[in-house]
Amino acid sequence: PLVSMRQLLDHAAEHSYGLPAFNVNNMEQIKAIMDAARAAAAPVILQGSAGARKYAGEPFLRHLVAAAVEAYPEIPVVMHQDHGASPAVCIGAIRSGFSSVMMDGSLQEDGKTPADYAYNVQVTARVAELAHAVGVSVEGELGCLGSLETGQGEAEDGHGAEGALSRDKLLTDPDEAAAFVKATQCDALAIAIGTSHGAYKFTRKPTGDILAIDRVKAIHQRIPTTHLVMHGSSSVPQELLEEIRAHGGDIKETYGVPVEEIQEGIRHGVRKVNIDTDIRLAMTAGMRRVAAKSGSEFDPRKFLAAAMEEARKVCIARFEAFGAAGQA
Ligand code: G3H
Ligand code: 13P
Ligand code: NA
Ligand code: ZN
């Protein structure tokens, strides 16, 4: 069944586990995630970005999720709007049947320029009031995703090397987080701890100076009943990078968020862990392997079946590592 995010995150908090939230754009990603959830007996958070709705089109995305709910009746499923850039986007998602929305008011409506705190509170509180009236959950975001190695915020005018942002400018402030949750009544809060979206997060395996798991602990201590969300939390498995490189791909040296660090976050209030890149890498590894090993292959299903199998393995590993396996 389709359920609200609040329901799943409350259960996760009560039983001290975390839920991966996987980005979806097409049937193959949804099937791979649902097959993994069935194998692991785990609840599922599917999330769609604005880019996903643009790629698949609203009716396709809506019907693909409905198909997943029908085909896997034993699995609780949340359909979540990822990085809603405005109240209008969130309302559109609710009308489309999403059971959860992210109002990302850390950025202005263009989704690129940093927004000030007052704007963030205003739009997030407004979405929470509307969403809660129809049983839909709301995720807010406070802080700047970006790199503690360079001081470069992810937002488009995030300062670069010369005007590097200090640690305290990038990371979510615990007192501000407490005020934000109180003012907005959001169900979950995305926090900035030095992660960023995509494959290129860290130039080395991250240590505490560039991945601030300590900040998770400080925020959790300040707002212990708020469900925390980690964005940019793909682990970027080195085996997948090697598999891609071995079959003609060209991906530079890079490191993601180690699963052990996410597990430490989950011990301190992290309940939702956003993962898109790892599924992209897994599918690319599968497709490249088939393409490289069988130059005469031209049935797309052969490429996509390998892609789904690689994605399924990653999803099962995350359900197990985060403690979500067996919780459906
Ligand atoms: O927030 C970023 C997610 O990885 C979604 O990426 O905007 O390319 O769909 P996208
Ligand atoms: P990754 O790029 O690390 O997979 O992060 C995805 C994400 O945060 C989606 O909101
Ligand atoms: Na999100
Ligand atoms: Zn994100």
Q: What is the pTM of this model?
A: 0.98
Residue 319 lies in a domain: no
Q: What is the pLDDT of residues 82-107, one digit of tens each?
A: 999 999 999 999 999 999 999 999 99
pLDDT at 271 over 90: yes
Cβ-defined contacts of 92-95 (< 8 Å, 24+): 93/48, 94/130, 94/131, 94/134, 94/136
Is residue 69 included in any domain, yes or no?
Answer: yes
- Distance (Å, rounded) from C-alpha 266 to C-alpha 62? 30
Atom of ligand 1 nearest to the CA of 276: 4
| Prediction ipTM score | 0.98
> Quick check: is 137 in a domain?
yes
Whether 109 maps to a domain, the answer reads: yes
Nearest to 184 by CA among 115, 118, 124, 100: 124
pLDDT digits (tens, 9 = 90+) for 200-251: 999 999 999 999 999 999 999 999 999 999 999 999 999 999 999 999 999 9
Q: Is 105 inside a domain boundary?
A: yes
- Ligand 4 centroid distance, CA of 161 (Å): 23
Q: Is residue 194 part of a domain?
A: yes
Res. 164 pLDDT band, cuts 50 70 90: confident
Check pLDDT > 90 for residue 72. Answer: yes
In a domain, residue 92? The reply is yes
Domain total in the chain: 1
Q: Average per-residue pLDDT in the chain?
A: 97
Determine if ligand 1 sits within 6 Å of the CB of residue 173: no
Q: What is the pLDDT of residues 115-159, one digit of tens each?
A: 999 999 999 999 999 999 999 999 999 999 999 999 999 988 777
Nearest atom in ligand 1 to 277's CA: 4
Nearest ligand by distance to the CA of 139: 3
- The CATH number of whichever domain residue 73 belongs to comes to 3.20.20.70
> Catalytic residue among 10, 35, 82, 110, which?
82
For ligand 4, a single-atom ion, the residues with CB < 5 A are 231, 274
Q: Which residue has a Cα nearest atom 5 of ligand 1?
A: 49
Query: Using 50, 70 and 90 to split pLDDT, how confident is the model at 163?
Result: confident
Q: What is the pLDDT of residue 18?
A: 99
Q: Specify the pLDDT at position 46.
A: 98
> Sign of torsion, CA 209 173 178 135?
negative
- State which residues form the domain around 28: 5-238+253-275
Any catalytic annotation for residue 104?
A: no
Here the tokens at position 1 are 């069944």
% of the chain exceeding 90 in pLDDT: 96
In a domain, 303, yes or no: no
